[in-house]
Structure 1
Amino acid sequence: MSKPESANRSRHYKRFMLLQGYGARLMLGLVIMLLTVVIQLSYPKALAYFIDNIKLQQDSSWYSTFAIVMLLLLSVQAVATAMRYYCFESTGYMIVSKVRQQVYNAMLSQPIGFYDKHNVGELTNRLSADVEILHDTLTMGLAISLRAALTFVGGVVMLLLISPALSLMLVFFVPLSLYLGRWVGRRITQRANAMQQQQALCGKVAHEHFSNIRLVHAFNQQKTARSAYASATDSALNVSVACAKFFAYFHGLTSFLTYLTLLVTLWFGATLISSGSLSIGELTSFILYAGMVTSAASAIGDFWTEWMRTIGATDRVFDIITTATPEEPAQQTPLVLAGNVSFDNVSFAYPERSTQRALQHISFTVNAGEKVALVGSSGAGKSTIANMILGFYMPCEGCITFDNITMQPSNVKCVRDNIAIVEQEPSLFSGSIYDNIAFAVAGREVSASEIVKAAELANADEFIQRFPDGYHTVVGDRGVQLSGGQKQRIAIARALLRNPRILILDEATSALDSASEAKVQQALSTLMTGRTTFIIAHRYSTIVEADRILVLSDGHIVQHGSHTELMLQQQGLYFRLMVNQLAQNATAGQRIANAV
């Protein structure tokens, strides 16, 4: 078997494997479906009997008997149809729900580099639109095609029993219809993939502008936002229209072939009636069975087309599931660190910029409880070091150790259990203050007393209690209902509740006013006590508090030492950075004095 054929079979197999666990429901649906098909196939035969005997029966009471029997059949079919629909439709929703959870879990398990390449709007589109397509084909679509297959087989048998000669008319149409369905199916996969990619692009554009809606309004860029979304939707429309055009040709051709076959059947059937080889009732039932067979053949072809479109549209979904990082065993032994951190000849390049090193041969050791400031201009590598301590990326060269334990993909989660981060713009969920602080601890319920204690240590309890709903105050998307200082203190409370051995402060006070900074700085002092702390900062007041300072430039450590030691090196980068900052502060102070 060639590789393309093997890959194709694998794509079909992955979709059908989703049916595992629903065998009983599907089997019940199939049994009910068989009953509805048998009843459906009996109608033309009953009609033929009625037509051929309507003038021969002397007693008109048989009309009533015939009508009652048909009414019973109709009732049974109606109930069976409803049960069949429920079985397959509900199973479809169950499968979609299961796949959606699988995709979501797979996305959560992806490394951070995955999110560097994919926009959040695109990913949410995968979760919604792409997965939903499976519902339309995997259960209901498959059920319709199976019913069509049963109807096709039963219809062909009935046609042969009525008139083998007349059945020859279908020998040409049915294989041609099935061939056309397969031919279209092979060509629709790429088109379907392109449609889903364009829909994902629309989601990406919308998400970016909605996520930054305040910036859009602040700069009056509504027109630009509309134009960007219109361009994305126009591209999606063009791809969809091209796909619809392709389908239109296919449906037009199959419609012509269907009615041509019917016309030829009527002509030949009339000839057989004239010769006495066929009755009017038999011709009527033959045409009805022929309609069933041709419709069933078309339905099978349509399903194959839809199925191939589904495969193309869901390829990305299954790629995400397949490439997810396997979950570690639930009972993994906890790792309790003292807080010693060492970088040994570490080099690193971001996956999207593999030719440009963000860190080059970085080596340093931080002892437990030590406060280390990372200083340098933008792009020097400060945040990259923080990202690597958190295990977001693994080194391209060298290694990172914690208490002489080398960080690896297999133990990165255990290492993270000992780390907390406070960011410049704290990441808050749209829920309550309570939930945002409790987010620090995974795997157990957090008591209200623990939350309050952490908030008190972070100087946050005072302002939280002033809210009407207290700790149950909803903060809004990204904490939009709170001030910058309030968000920072909630983030500090979250870090305190985690009780980490290693702490990362990423520009934690740079965006605050002096009054807020004083409160946050007091909370940070409490947080840093006894913990290994990495401080990414530009402010003089924050840097001088560090026990040691690492000065970075272009991914290298160019200086290291205490503030006093580095200020003595007047030719060094640190001295220039501090002098520039002090000069800026003096200028700002003079402007304030002049204004007063």
Structure 2
Amino acid sequence: MPLLLFLSASVALIDGLGLSLFIPLFQVAEAGAPSNVDLGNLHFVVDAFNFLGLNITVGSILIFMILLFSFKGCVFFINSFVSVRTRVRFMKQIRMQLVNGLCNLSYPAFVGMDLGRVQNVITGEIGKAGSALLSYLSTLQAAITLVGYLFLAFLADFRFALLITIAGGLSGFVYKYINKKVETSSLMQSYIGNGLQGKVLESVWNFKYLKATDLISRYRVRLVGLVHDVENLTMKMGKLNAISGALREPVTIAMLSIVIFVQVVVFDVSMFSIALILVFFYRSLTSLLSLQNSWQSFLTNSGGIKTVNELYEEFELKSESRVRDPLPPFGKSIELKNVVFSYESDPSRKVLNDISLEIEKNKTVAFVGESGSGKTTLVNMLSGLLMPVSGKILVDGVELTEQRVHAFRQMIGYITQEAVVFNDTVFNNVTFGAVKTPESLERFWDVIEKTALTSTIQQMPAKEDSMLGDNGVLISGGQKQRISIARELYRDCSLLLMDEATSALDSENERIIQSNINALKGKYTIVIIAHRLSTVRNADVIYLLENGVIGASGTFEELVAKSPRFRKMVELQEF
């Protein structure tokens, strides 16, 4: 900022000095010699020629003007380049801060956020914030340029400086009301844009349901209403900007007329002085109008700064610990000791209540129970997404803290009901973008073989380089789930979490996934959350959750024998 202001002031001063040379130029051309009278305190411009021992001729003045304005061009280039670099660095920095803030957001905070707002701010409002910064820089530069011309004006004629200051104050009063309206409309446009983005995302996510039930017609009314609101505010700001533009020339001419009248009629100033004063007046007024226009542009985009700042502060407030302590590799067991968990929205309701259990390395453990029994909360805790309100989670005897959770997550493979497949190639989906080398290819085909996908991929047009489409739309549900499992096996995870991994599959694909899980038994530590009891029959230990507590545990046969609730679940599924 200081460098930009210094360069802007330099441009104004060099430009002013160059323009003042027109007075001795006209004097030499008309009378053969310059006069210091019409230059006021700017007479040092002529004195500089005498100091350098140069003859004051039309040619020498013109050459000096060319050199001076060439130097001004160089300074102007540096000023513009620094301004662009400042904006680019600002945009990069704020984007990095938002991306880092999003990635460091805690899972409970993410669940409670408006995703439409997040997307709109990161993709749209940040652009407005960048434009606002550029306008702010232009405002500062115009202000310092105006100060530079006023300084020269004071040197040339004190009365002129006083008049231009009064004129600037009057024009500022004219624009004050318009600027306030533009600022308010900009902020409202940003907030409505957040809502529009959210509704558009909802319509995309739920398109199938909305289309099948024809509720999309009613949803369209909401979208159209928000579109109208955004466009109406845009039109309002456009109208205000048009009024501002329409006033620009009349205000300029009015001020110019007043200054000429006062200088000629009241103060009886010579024509050469008037010429110099008019040049300075024009430059000053141009800077003043540029300042007003830049400030109005800043206000137009200021809503972007506020919404970006609000989201960034929320990210910071709800972020996880940035301290990342190491955690030794998983070697023996994961133990939960008297774990209690409740959500902040309802702290009195204990979703998990005094849970104590041990998951041994390379054992398969399953959690079953009715909806709301705490299964998903428990797996979220085992993946480090949630932390206990009280109690401890120990990994080989080391307590899992917020500082160690990042290292713990690197050991986890996570497979959910909705398979995670990216719009990329098979290879990149499984390896998560690893460089293709003989070693990575060998490892890739090894995990593909383990998940029974070899023949499927070999039959694809580009084999491992075949695209899978958005969310894996080009492959079946069972194939998507196996791609997800292959990715976790490629990562060589220590703990494989399967949260309802087969609940969305048909019987044939469930059988295939189940055979994959059985093949991994004893080689990986596997935790399974399931409604379908066929998925957990071969587990080493099954825990039956009831209202946040462990109701019973044991092998499948043991639970059938000793737990009436589990036995009833088996009977209901006609197992």
Identify whether the pair has TM-score above 0.5, normalized to the shorter chain: yes
Query: Closer, same or farther in 2 for the Cα pair 1:224/1:39, shift >3 Å?
Result: farther
Residue of structure 1 in register with 2:47 after alignment: none
User: Which residue number corresponds to residue 285 of structure 1?
Assistant: 276
- 1:502 matched residue in structure 2: 495
Q: Is the 8 A contact 2:135 2:295 kept in 1?
A: no
Q: Distance in 2 between matches of 1:313 and 1:494?
A: 37
**Which residue of 102, 119, 123 corresponds with 1:124?**
119
| Contact 1:376/1:552 (<8 A) preserved | yes
The 3 A distance-change label for structure 1 pair 306 and 49 is: same
Size of the aligned set, in residue pairs, is 548
Alpha-carbon shift at residue 206 of structure 1 (Å): 2.1
What's the counterpart of residue 394 of structure 1? 387
Q: Matches of residues 97-116 of structure 1 in structure 2 within 5 Å?
A: 97-116=92-111
TM-aligned CA deviation for residue 127 of structure 1: 2.0
Question: Quick one: structure 1 residues 490 and 264, their matched pair in 2 at CA, closer, same or farther if it must change by over 3 Å?
Answer: same
Q: Pick closer, same or farther for the CA change 1:353–1:468 going to 2, 3 Å.
A: farther
In the TM superposition, residue 530 of structure 1 has moved relative to its aligned partner by 3.7
- 502-511 or 295-304, which deviates more: 295-304
The structural deviation recorded for 1:116 is 0.7
- In the TM superposition, residue 459 of structure 1 has moved relative to its aligned partner by 1.1
Q: Post-superposition shift, 1:306? A: 5.5
Alignment of 1:177-576 (within 5 A): 192-240=186-234, 260-272=254-266, 275=268, 278-300=269-291, 303=294, 309=302, 311-320=305-314, 322-323=316-317, 324-325=319-320, 327-328=322-323, 333-351=326-344, 354=347, 356-439=349-432, 447-569=440-562, 572-576=564-568
Q: Return 5+ residue gaps in structure 2 as ranges.
A: 34-56
Please give the alpha-carbon distance, in whole angstroms, between the structure 1 residues aligned to 2:491 and 2:74: 58
Task: Give the Å deviation of 1:483.
Answer: 0.6
Match of 1:447, SS state, is: helix
Partners of 2:175 and 2:113 in 1: how far apart? 35
d(CA) in 2 for partners of 1:564, 1:364: 20
Residues 17-75 of structure 1 deviation map (CA, whole Å, 9 limit, x = unaligned):
xx7xxxxxx84x667645532343246535555677776569xxx88887777666666
Residue aligned with 1:168, SS: helix
Alpha-carbon offset, residue 392 of structure 1 = 0.4
- Could you state the TM-score of these two structures normalised by the residue count of structure 2? 0.82
Structure 2 equivalent of residue 579 of structure 1: 571
Equivalence for 1:157: 151
**Aligned partners of 2:254 and 2:348: how far apart in 1?**
64
How far apart are the structure 1 equivalents of 2:181 and 2:350? 43
Q: Which residue of 1 aligns with 2:89?
A: 94
Separation of aligned partners in 1, 2:539 and 2:550: 17
**Aligned-pair distance for 1:383?**
1.0
Judge conservation of contact 1:502–1:532 (CA < 8 Å) in 2: yes
State the 1:384 CA deviation. 0.9
Q: 1:106 touches 1:325 (CA, 8 Å); kept in 2?
A: no
**Retained in 1: the 8 A contact 2:136–2:295?**
no
Q: Does the CA contact (< 8 Å) of 2:412 and 2:496 recur in 1?
A: yes
Alpha carbons of structure 1 residues 194 and 113: separation in structure 2 relative to 1, 3 Å:
farther
1:551-596 CA-partner distances (Å, limit 9, x unpaired): 22333333333333333357x43233222221xx7xxxxxxxxxxx
2: distance between equivalents of 1:302 and 1:192?
15
Change (3 A) 1:143 1:567: closer
Q: Which has the higher mean CA deviation after the structures are superposed, 488-497 or 304-313? A: 304-313
Which amino acid in 1 is paired with 2:11?
A: T
Q: Using the TM superposition, name which of 67-76 and 311-320 deviates more.
A: 67-76
| TM-score when normalising by structure 1 | 0.79
Contact 2:107–2:386 (CA under 8 A) maintained in structure 1: yes
Which position in structure 1 is the counterpart of 2:48?
none
Aligned-partner Cα distance in 1 for 2:567–2:220: 48
Q: Are the counterparts in 1 of residues 372 and 547 from structure 2 also a CA contact under 8 Å? A: yes
Change (3 A) 1:449 1:325: same
Root-mean-square deviation (CA), in Å?
Answer: 3.8
* Residue 314 of structure 1, CA deviation: 3.0
| Paired position in structure 1 for 2:50 | none
Distance 1:418 1:221 in 2: 44
* Amino acid aligned to 2:220: R
Choose 171-180 or 378-387, whichever is displaced more. Answer: 171-180
Deviations 1:504-525 (A, max 9, x none): 1112222222332222221111
Q: Is the 8 A contact 2:167 2:255 kept in 1?
A: yes
Aligned partners of 1:434 and 1:471 also within 8 Å: yes
CA distance in 2 between counterparts of 1:104 and 1:40 reads: 43
Q: Which amino acid in structure 1 is aligned with residue 128 of structure 2?
A: I
Q: CA deviation at 1:484?
A: 1.0
Q: Distance in 1 between matches of 2:434 and 2:161?
A: 72
Query: Which ranges in structure 1 are unaligned for 5 or more consecutive residues?
Result: 1-18, 20-25, 586-596
Query: Does the 8 Å CA contact 2:121/2:307 hold for their aligned counterparts?
Result: no
Residue 146 of structure 2 is aligned to residue 141 of structure 1:
no
What secondary structure sits across from 2:573 in the alignment?
helix
| Per-residue CA distance 1:123-143 (angstroms, 9 max, x = gap) | 2322222332343343x4354
The letter for the 2-side match of 1:578 is: V
Seen in structure 2, the aligned counterparts of structure 1 residues 446 and 361 have a Cα distance that, compared at 3 Å, is farther
Q: Is the 2:326–2:404 Cα contact (8 Å) retained in structure 1?
A: no
Deviates more, 1:415-424 or 1:351-360: 351-360
In the other structure, the counterpart of 2:20 is 45
For 1:34 and 1:156, locate their aligned partners in 2 and report how far apart those are by CA, in whole Å: 11
